[in-house]
Chains A and B, each alone.
Chain A
Amino acid sequence: MSELTTDRQIDRSKMTVSDEIAVEIINMNKWYGTFHVLRDINLTVNSGERIVIAGPSGSGKSTLIRCINRLEEHQSGKIIVDGTELSSDLKNIDKIRSDVGMCFQHFNLFPHLTILENCTLAPIWVRKTPRKEAIDTAMHFLEKVRIPDQANKYPGQLSGGQQQRVAIARSLCMRPRIMLFDEPTSALDPEMIKEVLDTMIELAEEGMTMLCVTHEMGFARQVANRVIFMDQGQIVEQNEPEEFFNNPKSERTKLFLSQILGH
């Protein structure tokens, strides 16, 4: 895994953590059938926090962030997003999903729609934005991720890095207050990882609340204000990046870090 991801200077002026709570998870448990995937998760995320979630494969990182926008259902405990507690109530789910954006490892762009249509679909059908306005918003965010000239192409015509940036723009078009990333760079070639990470850094610089599952430890060091280590469905350790990398407390974290950092 790459240690340093970017050489650019990071502007920390807007990366402020407020007192407002964005996500609160209390004693949350989840099972797949009889398999206990998540055990007693407690986590509070304040607005403006950039959290990196790390841990070995199969430790439940994806499941955890997928519970936050209810792609997965939890069986006990509470998840409160922006003051709304997650339940099976459709209205609740609608509200939370329009507040929380998500990017996936495999981008999951809609291949039958153009880049622009990918970005305007949800604003038009969910937010009921007039088409003109939705297009303006989409172009604004496509410019931000630096691919406005590809707007009328189809996802299949773009490189992986470009597709992931479109996926980020597509989420941003819904003006989310929280962004979830599930290994956004794991499916990318090394030279494309940087362009996606740069986009994510810009997002962080604007004060977006972010929860990222990633193996990019350089990104964690530079951007995150907190790193969470998960193993076997539990949060084993969480700390500021500096402490987390230089002074890990649990044995499992040490083992994981030595494997992932290769020394």
Chain B
Amino acid sequence: MTTITDPPKQQFRLSMLIYDTRYRSATIQVVALIAFMLLAAWLIDNTARNMMLLGKTINFGFFGEPASYDINQRLLDYTSRDTHLRAALIGLLNTLVVAILGCATATAVGVLVGVLRLSHNWLIARLMTIYVEMFRNVPVLLWIVFIMAIMIETLPAPSAFRGDNATASMLLGDTVALTNRGIYIPEALFSRSLGDIHFFGASSLRFDVSLDLIAFLIVLGAGLWASHRIKRRADRMQEETGNRPTTWYLRVGVVLVPVVILLVALGFHLGYPELKGFNFSGGTHLRNSLIALWLALSLYTAAFIAEIVRAGILAISNGQTEAAAALGLRPGRVMRLVILPQALRVIVPPLISQYLNLTKNSSLAIAVGYMDITGTLGGITMNQTGKELECVLLLMLIYLIISLSISGVMNWYNESVKLKER
């Protein structure tokens, strides 16, 4: 016989809010939320009152006023008569340039160093250890300034390239010049150019896009797509017959040949930097500030990435390599099919924080005079207009958006390599 009984009714006591595990976490959250809202309300109220006393108002009208300062390294056209908004845009692009260049370089160097640190070659392993310890134990600001100083102090001035008894000479068949004002490299020119498309007329957000570049990207994209199709076909052949056809030359060819044909059709040639008077002209000028910032951020972050990669590979037990080897898989295949898919899952999450660190550290650009978003919007614009609150809030918002975008992309990637276990 079963009897129907009510579960024992418990008297609710106020102390249960703190001591009962069922309510405890809710209580803590409610208290924290109330405290946070009170603090935020006080801060906003305080700020608004003080600004009123100073006669300031929150106003973004200053963006339309002329910036009247110069920016020497820029991706879009800009003069000091342009607005603060355009200056901020130029700064934002500069931040993105150094962040993207930095993340790519740091990943390449970091992965290489991380793998080499595990090398059986004593010398290589030690050298990599020294590199890692040197870079991650010194503040990145010092590395930026140090690299900048080295370039200014040790590289020849452009005038040294001049005359019959020049003390310096250009490298790589007179195509690259390393000077104390920066590096001059060849630029891509098209003698039968398709021209540009202009966006946003003459406004502060105007920019041009080269049709040559678009054509190049389209042809490259189509090539990569075709190459991917060839790979898929090879996969299918392997599934059906077991034999994988050799396709690498087809895959390389289908990407390269159309691109080369396009470049020839557009009359692609390189414009070399040339000494004119006291300075170089032509080619692309990479300023010292960009190079110092890029190198220092990349090498510094690469040291951390190297450790992450090494830890990721070490986290996969030796038993995995042995089991795969015992089945007859060669070392390269073992790495690609067994070790890396498992290591990536350990590597990617900390890699995200390194990308975020690099992006935020790029605001140290101000130390070498590279005009990034902090140097323009958060530097000269802020000082000239006195709109501290607006500028800083906007800066924070911009960095937040960049960081969240990086996290978003990387989390999506992480999801796709994640270990499906349960």
Contacts and interface: CB of A to CB of B under 8 A. Distances in A.
A73 to B, nearest CB: 12
B244 A131 contact: no
Contacts of B170: none
A111 B319 contact: no
Nearest to B421: A156
Interface stretch (B329-337, B349-357, B403-411): B329-337
Contacts of A130: 238-242
Contacts of A109: 323
Interface stretch (A8-16, A34-42, A93-101, A229-237): A93-101
Contacts, number: 85
B326 A102 contact: yes
A84 B320 CA distance: 26
B422 interface: yes
| Chain B residues touching A, range | 20 to 34
B327 A174 contact: yes
Contacts of B282: none
Interface residues of A, number: 35
Contacts of A171: 326-327
Contacts of B324: 110, 122
A112 B327 contact: no
A156 B421 CA distance: 6
A110 B319 contact: no
A112 B239 contact: no
Contact of B323 (A110, A112, A124): A110
A104 interface: yes
Given A111-B419, A156-B422, A126 B325 contact: no
Interface in A150-198: 154, 156-157, 167, 170-171, 174
Q: Which of B239, B323, B420 has the most CB of A within 10 A?
A: B323
A171 B328 CA distance: 10
Contacts of A170: 327
A128 interface: yes
Interface in B220-261: 238-244
Contacts of A90: 330
B241 A125 contact: no
Contacts of A133: 242
A128 B328 CA distance: 12
A61 to B, nearest CB: 16
Interface in A99-126: 100-102, 104, 106, 108-112, 121-122, 124-126
A111 B342 contact: yes
A209 interface: no
B330 A94 contact: yes
Given A71-B322, A108-B320, A156-B422, A131 B327 contact: no
Interface of B: 238-244, 317, 319-320, 322-330, 333, 337-338, 341-342, 345, 419-422
Shortest beta-carbon contacts, A-B, top 9: A108-B323, A122-B327, A131-B239, A108-B319, A128-B242, A97-B328, A102-B326, A126-B328, A130-B242
Given A104-B319, A129-B242, A174-B328, 15 more contacts: A71-B325, A71-B326, A94-B330, A97-B325, A97-B328, A101-B326, A108-B317, A110-B323, A110-B324, A111-B421, A121-B329, A122-B327, A125-B329, A130-B242, A157-B422
12 contacts: A98-B328, A101-B326, A111-B419, A112-B420, A125-B329, A126-B327, A131-B242, A133-B242, A156-B422, A157-B421, A170-B327, A174-B327
